[in-house]
Amino acid sequence: MGKAKIGFDLQDKIGAIDDRVYGTFAEHLGRMIYNGIYEPKHPLADKQGFRTDVLEAVKALNIPIIRYPGGNFVSGYNWEDGVGPKKKRPKRLELAWSAVETNEVGIHEFADWCEKVGTKIMMAVNLGTRGMDDARRLMEYCNFPGGTELSDWRIKNGRKEPFGIKLWCLGNEMDGPWQMGHKTAKEYGRVACETSKLLKLLDPESETVACGSSNRDMCTYKQWEREVLQECYEVVDYLSLHQYFAPSNVDGDHRSYLTLAENMDAFIREVVEICDEVGKAKGSDKKINLSFDEWNVWYHSSEQDKQIPRWQVAPPQLEDIYNEEDAVLFATMLNTLISHCDRVKVACLAQLVNVIAPIMTKPGGGMFLQTIYYPYFYASNYGRGEALRPDITCTKYDCAKFKGAKAMHVSGVLNRDGELFVMAANRSGEAEEVTLTVKGGDVASVIECKRLSGDAKAGNSFENPNNIAPVAAECKITEEGVTFTAPAESVHFIRLALKK
């Protein structure tokens, strides 16, 4: 067994974590909306057709913000199709995912659901088949109090108070050849600049996110960031990053797969460097922060999705069933976002229900929580406050794609309740005996210590919903520090009370 030391110094802070780092994403895709959050015929549906069991599971995640309505979907979406009397709403072919969109859920219904859940919308606009005029109209419809055609239309459609949406994504993955309305960096940079200008003329308090690369392996990566920022640096607030990990990223090597957060870390560092380079070249005082607005593990469903017939309503697409090892990688991705809280101000777990999701539902039936639900649950509920820099000494390992990786991957947050919340993943193949110390404060007690571990390939299901779920684990306060044993490929969630 290896020996690990994790040291925190209460004075050594990375920075304040923006709550929006614990955002998620809800796209009109597969069974995310229809037969996910919305299923009017379900016995547990409320008057508006929202499943109350799903609502409760989502509420428990305490989500600050949800990106909506896409994703690739948004690049072909006419938001007007989803407002007004439901019976009059058109059914449309949805080209991004080869499905049929019924438009039963639109902005009004989604905003109502968000209110029930206690979250806010991060709105994405269609810069694919549409453009800046559409974005302007959508913002006026959503946010203007009344007295204009569009705001009065909202009121007529049942919503007197504006939706008050403050965070706006300027399109989605516009660098991707698969995207409807795909653009070159120069073309997109100009559109992003002019769209952001219009949105800010309408609401100067709104913030905008320009599209960065769809992932770090795009052949246009870096050049895209530079050229886009060249055009829109002064008028946007954030640049986006997207990244999904799969064993295929590392030729199927198991240990390398569990180490992929290193690539996420490098991705963030590189994009920060580019933002600052462009800012410097422009002689600007402004800093562009990052919005990591799609991240997750995604691969289990890729083959089965090829068999799904086209043009169905709510087909079962992207229904990954996650296992224990996915949750370990997932926790290290979350740790990485926390460790970059000085520049990553928004992040969205993609997605929320059924579609590469922490929550799975059966039409007319039950639901279960996936393995990845738990790291997200703990971080979102207990990881709000200031991130501390962990000082880690532990076993190192080499694998096919990474050399000298640390077994322990850890984040520590001095949260708003004055607790120290620690998420500690052991991504190696050997157990580590861990001693955790806190400089500048004494640990008074262990409020909670849970561990997620077990068969790396096992997950949860409707039949066996708690197969892989956190269980109470031993964590002792000793003279040396707080000690616990981290089995191979496990995650600990530890909440420590500090002496006043």
Is residue 70 a contact residue for ligand AHR (CB under 6 A)? Answer: yes
Is residue 173 a contact residue for ligand AHR (CB under 6 A)? Answer: yes
Residue closer to ligand AHR (CB basis): 94 or 207: 94
We find the least distance from the C-beta atom of residue 70 to ligand AHR, in angstroms, to be 5
CA torsion sign, 373 to 377 to 378 to 380? positive
We find the least distance from the C-beta atom of residue 296 to ligand AHR, in angstroms, to be 8
The one segment of 68-76, 146-154, 181-189, 395-403 that binds ligand AHR by CB under 6 A: 68-76
Annotate each residue in 351-380 with x if it binds ligand AHR (CB under 6 A) or - if it does not, as one string: x-----------------------------
Strand (E) or helix (H) holding 6: strand 2-9
The one segment of 67-75, 280-288, 393-401, 492-500 that binds ligand AHR by CB under 6 A: 67-75
Residue closer to ligand AHR (CB basis): 77 or 378: 77
Q: Which of 80, 294, 325, 432 is catalytic?
A: 294
- Rounded-to-integer distance, Cα 156 and Cα 154, Å: 5
Residue closer to ligand AHR (CB basis): 195 or 428: 195
Residue closer to ligand AHR (CB basis): 344 or 357: 357
- Rounded-to-integer distance, Cα 482 and Cα 181, Å: 54
Q: Which of 27, 39, 173, 325 is catalytic?
A: 173
Half-sphere exposure of 321 (CA within 13 A, CB side): 16
Annotate each residue in 14-33 with x if it binds ligand AHR (CB under 6 A) or - if it does not, as one string: -------------x------
Annotate each residue in 373-412 with x if it binds ligand AHR (CB under 6 A) or - if it does not, as one string: ----------------------------------------
- Rounded-to-integer distance, Cα 87 and Cα 98, Å: 23
Annotate each residue in 210-229 with x if it binds ligand AHR (CB under 6 A) or - if it does not, as one string: ----x---------------
173 is catalytic: yes
| Strand 432-439, strand 2-9: pairing | parallel
Of 421, 433, 454, 430, the C-alpha closest to 328 is 454
Is residue 324 a contact residue for ligand AHR (CB under 6 A)? Answer: no
Residues 6+ apart with CB under 8 A from 228: 185, 188, 189, 192, 210, 211, 212, 239
- Rounded-to-integer distance, Cα 246 and Cα 33, Å: 25
Sites for ligand AHR among residues 287-316 (CB under 6 A): 294
We find the least distance from the C-beta atom of residue 25 to ligand AHR, in angstroms, to be 7
Tell me the two tokens of residue 104: 């039963």
Per-residue burial over 226-236, b = 16 or more CB atoms within 10 Å of its CB, e = otherwise: ebbbebbbebb
We find the least distance from the C-beta atom of residue 347 to ligand AHR, in angstroms, to be 14
Residues 6+ apart with CB under 8 A from 269: none
Residues 6+ apart with CB under 8 A from 190: 231, 232
Strand (E) or helix (H) holding 92: strand 92-94
Residue closer to ligand AHR (CB basis): 72 or 395: 72
- Rounded-to-integer distance, Cα 267 and Cα 251, Å: 19
Tell me the two tokens of residue 399: 């694998």
Residues 6+ apart with CB under 8 A from 184: none
Residue closer to ligand AHR (CB basis): 170 or 475: 170
The one segment of 70-78, 84-92, 220-228, 261-269 that binds ligand AHR by CB under 6 A: 70-78
Residue closer to ligand AHR (CB basis): 320 or 325: 320
CB 402 within 8 A of CB 27: no
Q: What does each C-alpha distance from 143 to 33, 165, 167, 191 come to in angstroms? A: 23, 7, 12, 22
99 bridge partner residues: 94, 312
The residue at minimum Cβ distance from ligand AHR is 71
Candidates 102, 119, 143, 172; binder of ligand AHR (CB under 6 A) is: 172
The one segment of 66-74, 267-275, 401-409, 486-494 that binds ligand AHR by CB under 6 A: 66-74
Residue closer to ligand AHR (CB basis): 229 or 357: 357
Candidates 7, 39, 42, 72; binder of ligand AHR (CB under 6 A) is: 72
39 is catalytic: no
Which residues form the catalytic set? 173, 294
Using CB under 6 A as the criterion, which residues of the chain lie in contact with ligand AHR when the complex forms?
Answer: 27, 70-72, 172-173, 214, 294, 350-351
